[in-house]
Protein backbone atom coordinates (compact mmCIF):
# COMPACT_ATOMS: atom_id res chain seq x y z
CA UNK A 1 0.00 0.00 0.00
CA UNK A 2 2.70 2.54 0.98
CA UNK A 3 4.80 1.70 -2.07
CA UNK A 4 1.81 1.98 -4.41
CA UNK A 5 0.83 5.32 -2.84
CA UNK A 6 4.33 6.77 -3.20
CA UNK A 7 4.59 5.59 -6.78
CA UNK A 8 1.15 7.04 -7.51
CA UNK A 9 2.18 10.47 -6.18
CA UNK A 10 5.14 10.65 -8.56
CA UNK A 11 3.06 9.42 -11.51
CA UNK A 12 0.15 11.74 -10.75
CA UNK A 13 2.07 14.99 -10.31
CA UNK A 14 5.20 14.93 -12.52
CA UNK A 15 5.07 18.73 -12.85
CA UNK A 16 5.39 19.26 -9.09
CA UNK A 17 6.88 16.14 -7.52
CA UNK A 18 10.37 14.94 -8.34
CA UNK A 19 10.51 11.82 -6.21
CA UNK A 20 9.51 10.16 -2.98
CA UNK A 21 12.50 8.78 -1.16
CA UNK A 22 12.96 7.51 2.39
CA UNK A 23 9.39 8.54 3.20
CA UNK A 24 9.95 12.15 2.11
CA UNK A 25 8.08 13.75 -0.79
CA UNK A 26 10.53 15.91 -2.75
CA UNK A 27 8.95 18.73 -4.73
CA UNK A 28 10.69 20.14 -7.79
CA UNK A 29 10.95 23.56 -6.14
CA UNK A 30 13.08 22.05 -3.37
CA UNK A 31 10.37 21.81 -0.72
CA UNK A 32 9.86 18.56 1.14
CA UNK A 33 7.05 16.99 3.08
CA UNK A 34 6.97 13.86 5.19
CA UNK A 35 4.87 11.07 3.69
CA UNK A 36 3.80 10.17 7.22
CA UNK A 37 3.27 7.07 9.27
CA UNK A 38 -0.38 6.36 8.42
CA UNK A 39 -1.85 3.33 10.18
CA UNK A 40 -5.04 2.92 12.16
CA UNK A 41 -6.82 6.14 13.08
CA UNK A 42 -10.39 7.18 13.65
CA UNK A 43 -12.18 8.65 10.64
CA UNK A 44 -12.40 11.96 12.53
CA UNK A 45 -8.64 12.09 13.19
CA UNK A 46 -7.89 11.24 9.59
CA UNK A 47 -10.12 14.02 8.29
CA UNK A 48 -9.04 16.64 10.82
CA UNK A 49 -5.27 16.44 10.29
CA UNK A 50 -4.34 13.84 7.70
CA UNK A 51 -0.77 12.91 6.92
CA UNK A 52 -0.12 12.28 3.23
CA UNK A 53 -0.15 8.54 4.01
CA UNK A 54 -3.63 8.87 5.50
CA UNK A 55 -5.03 10.13 2.19
CA UNK A 56 -4.51 6.60 0.83
CA UNK A 57 -5.88 4.73 3.85
CA UNK A 58 -9.21 3.99 2.16
CA UNK A 59 -8.69 2.77 -1.41
CA UNK A 60 -10.79 4.52 -4.05
CA UNK A 61 -13.15 1.93 -5.60
CA UNK A 62 -12.64 1.68 -9.36
CA UNK A 63 -16.06 0.05 -9.84
CA UNK A 64 -19.13 2.30 -9.75
CA UNK A 65 -22.48 1.50 -8.19
CA UNK A 66 -21.70 0.07 -4.73
CA UNK A 67 -23.05 1.90 -1.68
CA UNK A 68 -20.10 3.19 0.39
CA UNK A 69 -19.67 1.56 3.81
CA UNK A 70 -19.69 3.61 7.02
CA UNK A 71 -17.01 6.32 7.01
CA UNK A 72 -15.58 5.11 3.68
CA UNK A 73 -14.69 8.51 2.18
CA UNK A 74 -11.71 7.94 -0.16
CA UNK A 75 -10.30 11.35 -1.11
CA UNK A 76 -12.13 13.35 1.52
CA UNK A 77 -8.99 13.60 3.68
CA UNK A 78 -6.68 16.28 2.26
CA UNK A 79 -3.29 17.17 3.72
CA UNK A 80 -3.47 20.97 3.51
CA UNK A 81 0.28 21.55 3.11
CA UNK A 82 0.49 18.96 0.35
CA UNK A 83 -2.23 20.67 -1.67
CA UNK A 84 -0.80 24.13 -0.97
CA UNK A 85 2.52 22.91 -2.36
CA UNK A 86 0.74 21.62 -5.47
CA UNK A 87 -1.67 24.50 -6.06
CA UNK A 88 -0.96 27.43 -3.73
CA UNK A 89 -3.02 29.09 -1.03
CA UNK A 90 -6.19 30.79 -2.29
CA UNK A 91 -6.09 33.24 0.62
CA UNK A 92 -2.93 34.79 -0.86
CA UNK A 93 -2.99 37.55 -3.45
CA UNK A 94 -1.03 35.83 -6.23
CA UNK A 95 -3.20 32.71 -6.24
CA UNK A 96 -5.45 34.04 -9.03
CA UNK A 97 -2.57 33.63 -11.50
CA UNK A 98 -2.96 29.88 -11.22
CA UNK A 99 -6.59 29.94 -12.38
CA UNK A 100 -7.94 29.64 -15.88
CA UNK A 101 -11.41 29.29 -17.45
CA UNK A 102 -12.61 26.00 -18.92
CA UNK A 103 -15.66 26.13 -21.19
CA UNK A 104 -18.19 23.68 -19.81
CA UNK A 105 -19.88 21.54 -22.49
CA UNK A 106 -19.00 23.86 -25.40
CA UNK A 107 -22.01 22.75 -27.49
CA UNK A 108 -24.64 22.31 -24.77
CA UNK A 109 -23.75 24.85 -22.06
CA UNK A 110 -20.82 27.21 -22.76
CA UNK A 111 -20.61 28.42 -19.14
CA UNK A 112 -17.05 29.10 -17.97
CA UNK A 113 -15.67 27.28 -14.94
CA UNK A 114 -12.55 28.49 -13.14
CA UNK A 115 -9.99 25.85 -12.15
CA UNK A 116 -6.24 25.59 -11.63
CA UNK A 117 -4.03 25.30 -14.66
CA UNK A 118 -1.36 23.60 -12.55
CA UNK A 119 -0.71 19.84 -12.68
CA UNK A 120 -2.86 19.58 -15.80
CA UNK A 121 -6.17 20.21 -14.02
CA UNK A 122 -7.62 22.62 -16.60
CA UNK A 123 -6.46 20.54 -19.58
CA UNK A 124 -7.94 17.39 -18.11
CA UNK A 125 -11.20 19.12 -17.24
CA UNK A 126 -11.43 20.47 -20.79
CA UNK A 127 -11.07 16.89 -22.04
CA UNK A 128 -13.81 15.74 -19.63
CA UNK A 129 -16.02 18.61 -20.81
CA UNK A 130 -15.63 17.68 -24.48
CA UNK A 131 -16.46 14.02 -23.81
CA UNK A 132 -19.48 14.88 -21.66
CA UNK A 133 -20.68 17.19 -24.42
CA UNK A 134 -20.89 14.17 -26.75
CA UNK A 135 -23.14 12.14 -24.41
CA UNK A 136 -26.83 11.78 -25.37
CA UNK A 137 -28.96 14.87 -24.70
CA UNK A 138 -30.73 13.09 -21.80
CA UNK A 139 -27.49 13.49 -19.79
CA UNK A 140 -27.38 17.29 -20.00
CA UNK A 141 -29.83 17.73 -17.10
CA UNK A 142 -27.21 16.19 -14.77
CA UNK A 143 -24.39 18.39 -16.03
CA UNK A 144 -25.68 21.87 -16.80
CA UNK A 145 -25.82 24.49 -15.55
CA UNK A 146 -22.75 23.54 -13.51
CA UNK A 147 -22.73 24.64 -9.88
CA UNK A 148 -19.14 25.87 -10.04
CA UNK A 149 -15.41 25.31 -9.88
CA UNK A 150 -12.92 27.41 -7.92
CA UNK A 151 -14.26 28.88 -4.71
CA UNK A 152 -11.95 29.86 -1.85
CA UNK A 153 -13.88 28.42 1.04
CA UNK A 154 -13.82 25.92 3.87
CA UNK A 155 -15.97 22.79 3.68
CA UNK A 156 -19.44 23.46 5.13
CA UNK A 157 -19.43 22.95 8.89
CA UNK A 158 -15.59 22.76 9.12
CA UNK A 159 -12.47 24.94 8.96
CA UNK A 160 -10.82 22.66 6.38
CA UNK A 161 -10.18 23.95 2.86
CA UNK A 162 -12.44 22.41 0.25
CA UNK A 163 -11.09 20.94 -3.00
CA UNK A 164 -12.75 23.97 -4.60
CA UNK A 165 -10.28 26.23 -2.76
CA UNK A 166 -7.36 24.68 -4.66
CA UNK A 167 -9.14 24.98 -8.02
CA UNK A 168 -9.24 21.20 -8.48
CA UNK A 169 -12.96 20.52 -8.00
CA UNK A 170 -16.07 21.01 -10.08
CA UNK A 171 -19.71 20.64 -9.12
CA UNK A 172 -22.04 19.54 -11.91
CA UNK A 173 -25.74 20.51 -11.89
CA UNK A 174 -27.49 20.64 -8.52
CA UNK A 175 -30.88 19.56 -9.95
CA UNK A 176 -30.27 15.81 -9.47
CA UNK A 177 -27.56 16.09 -6.81
CA UNK A 178 -27.59 14.57 -3.33
CA UNK A 179 -25.46 15.71 -0.41
CA UNK A 180 -25.25 13.98 2.96
CA UNK A 181 -25.94 17.18 4.91
CA UNK A 182 -29.12 18.13 3.04
CA UNK A 183 -31.44 15.68 4.88
CA UNK A 184 -29.99 17.15 8.14
CA UNK A 185 -28.94 13.83 9.73
CA UNK A 186 -28.78 13.73 13.52
CA UNK A 187 -25.27 13.52 14.96
CA UNK A 188 -24.17 9.88 15.10
CA UNK A 189 -27.11 8.58 13.04
CA UNK A 190 -26.35 6.36 10.03
CA UNK A 191 -26.59 8.14 6.69
CA UNK A 192 -28.95 6.97 3.96
CA UNK A 193 -27.07 6.93 0.69
CA UNK A 194 -28.74 8.54 -2.31
CA UNK A 195 -27.58 9.04 -5.86
CA UNK A 196 -29.10 9.84 -9.26
CA UNK A 197 -25.95 10.58 -11.27
CA UNK A 198 -25.50 8.09 -14.15
CA UNK A 199 -22.41 5.91 -14.25
CA UNK A 200 -21.41 7.12 -17.74
CA UNK A 201 -20.65 10.56 -16.31
CA UNK A 202 -18.52 9.15 -13.49
CA UNK A 203 -16.55 6.96 -15.91
CA UNK A 204 -15.58 9.93 -18.08
CA UNK A 205 -14.36 11.99 -15.10
CA UNK A 206 -12.38 9.08 -13.66
CA UNK A 207 -10.72 8.40 -17.00
CA UNK A 208 -9.18 11.88 -16.74
CA UNK A 209 -8.07 11.70 -13.10
CA UNK A 210 -11.14 13.05 -11.28
CA UNK A 211 -12.64 11.17 -8.34
CA UNK A 212 -16.34 11.32 -7.53
CA UNK A 213 -17.98 12.40 -4.25
CA UNK A 214 -20.69 9.80 -4.92
CA UNK A 215 -18.21 7.13 -3.76
CA UNK A 216 -18.14 8.64 -0.27
CA UNK A 217 -20.20 7.56 2.72
CA UNK A 218 -20.54 11.31 3.26
CA UNK A 219 -21.86 11.51 -0.29
CA UNK A 220 -21.66 14.63 -2.44
CA UNK A 221 -22.86 13.38 -5.80
CA UNK A 222 -22.34 16.59 -7.80
CA UNK A 223 -18.69 16.85 -6.68
CA UNK A 224 -15.75 15.76 -8.83
CA UNK A 225 -12.14 16.46 -7.86
CA UNK A 226 -8.80 16.05 -9.62
CA UNK A 227 -7.06 13.36 -7.55
CA UNK A 228 -5.18 11.20 -10.03
CA UNK A 229 -3.01 9.77 -7.25
CA UNK A 230 -6.02 7.90 -5.84
CA UNK A 231 -7.01 6.40 -9.18
CA UNK A 232 -3.42 5.41 -9.95
CA UNK A 233 -2.93 3.85 -6.50
CA UNK A 234 -6.19 1.91 -6.90
CA UNK A 235 -5.06 0.55 -10.27
CA UNK A 236 -1.65 -0.41 -8.89
CA UNK A 237 -3.31 -2.33 -6.07
CA UNK A 238 -5.72 -4.21 -8.32
CA UNK A 239 -5.20 -7.97 -8.05
Quick one: 25 or 143, whose CB is closer to Zn ion? 143
Binder of Zn ion out of 51, 171, 206, 229 (CB under 5 A): 171
Quick one: 38 or 164, whose CB is closer to Zn ion? 164
Q: H or E segment at 84?
A: helix 80-87
- Contacts with Zn ion: how many residues (CB under 5 A)? 3
Beta strand residue intervals within 6-137, DSSP E: 17-21, 24-27, 32-34, 99-103, 112-116
* Part in contact with Zn ion (CB under 5 A); list of ranges 55-63, 103-111, 137-145, 167-175: 167-175
Quick one: 1 or 196, whose CB is closer to Zn ion? 196
Binder of Zn ion out of 223, 228, 233, 234 (CB under 5 A): 223
Q: How far is the CB of 164 from Zn ion (least distance, A)?
A: 6
How many degrees, rounded to 5, is the angle at CA 84 between CA 78 and CA 88?
Answer: 140
Residue 238 burial (10 A CB sphere; 0-12, 13-18, 19+): exposed
Quick one: 119 or 221, whose CB is closer to Zn ion? 221
3-state secondary structure of 20: strand
How many degrees, rounded to 5, is the angle at CA 196 between CA 193 and CA 199?
Answer: 105
Which residues in this chain contact Zn ion in the complex, by CB under 5 A?
169, 171, 223
Amino acid sequence: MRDAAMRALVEAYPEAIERVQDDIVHFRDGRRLAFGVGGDKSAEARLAAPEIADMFAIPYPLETGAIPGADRDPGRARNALFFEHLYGDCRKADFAKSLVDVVWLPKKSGVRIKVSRRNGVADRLAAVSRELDDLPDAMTQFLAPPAGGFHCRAIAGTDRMSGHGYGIAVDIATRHAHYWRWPMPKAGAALTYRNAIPKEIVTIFEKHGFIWGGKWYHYDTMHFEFRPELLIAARLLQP
